[in-house]
């Protein structure tokens, strides 16, 4: 596929991105909230965490699509994912201060 075709498709679909992001955040927040209710996760603000994780995954996705993934980058991403996954099951976390 030509780059110009990809860019044109992106422009036509740009209005769908906020809707898709909101759906992803809502789904992930629901999963996190369920885990908190079951005592599996200790998260102060599930919705805020979901928003941050969706943003992170979007950034990582962009990086993976636009750059070659060498061994070092792959290990760095694996380390990052491990921290996020294991971090969800951490002991009690302090409440995030309100702004």
Name residues whose C-beta falls within 8 Å of residue 52's C-beta, 6 or more positions apart in sequence: none
> Could you tell me the pLDDT band of residue 71, with boundaries at 50, 70 and 90?
confident
**Residue 1's pLDDT is what?**
60
pLDDT, tens only, 3-15: 666 667 777 777 8
Q: Where are the domains of the chain?
A: 16-52
Q: Please provide residue 38's backbone torsions phi and psi, each rounded to the nearest 5 degrees.
A: -85, -5
Distances (CA, A) of 17 to 24, 69, 82, 89: 10, 25, 27, 30
pLDDT, tens only, 40-57: 888 889 999 899 888 887
* pTM for this predicted structure: 0.59
> Could you tell me the pLDDT band of residue 32, with boundaries at 50, 70 and 90?
very high
Alpha carbon distance 37, 39 (integer Å): 5
């Amino acid at each position: 596929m030509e780059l110009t075709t990809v860019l044109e498709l992106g422009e036509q679909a740009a209005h769908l991105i906020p809707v898709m992001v909101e759906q992803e955040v809502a789904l992930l927040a629901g999963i996190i909230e369920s885990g908190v209710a079951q005592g599996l996760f200790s998260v102060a603000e599930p919705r805020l965490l979901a928003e941050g994780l969706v943003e992170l995954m979007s950034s990582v996705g962009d990086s993976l699509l636009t750059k070659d993934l060498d061994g070092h980058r792959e290990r760095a991403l694996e380390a990052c994912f491990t921290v996020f996954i294991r971090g969800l099951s951490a002991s009690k976390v302090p409440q995030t201060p309100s702004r």
